[in-house]
Amino acid sequence: MNRLVKIRSQEFLCRERAALDSKRRLFWLAQAEEWEQRALDEIAHHFRECNQAELSAA
């Protein structure tokens, strides 16, 4: 889950830059969206691993 924290940090930085850089706001928001999707993918991956471990243990 440390990876998720790093991904969310990148997302936050992009959103922060979007708020401060009005000329490139759309670029930074698009970058933030990409990081958000990576975070969602990481969460899904984590749950798949957890489910597989539970099935193997059963």
pLDDT at 46 over 80: yes
CA 37, 39, 3, 26 torsion-angle sign: positive
Vertex 38, ends 27 and 53: CA angle to 5°?
Answer: 175
Percent of the chain as helix, strand, coil, to the nearest 5: 95, 0, 5
**For residue 52, what pLDDT is reported?**
85
Give me the residue spans of the domains in the chain: 2-57
pLDDT > 90: what percent of the chain? 81
Report the alpha-carbon distance of residue 35 to residue 18 in Å, rounded. Answer: 14
Residue 53 has pLDDT above 80, yes or no: no
Of 13-17, 31-35, 48-52, the poorest mean pLDDT is in: 48-52
Per-residue pLDDT for 55 more than 90? no
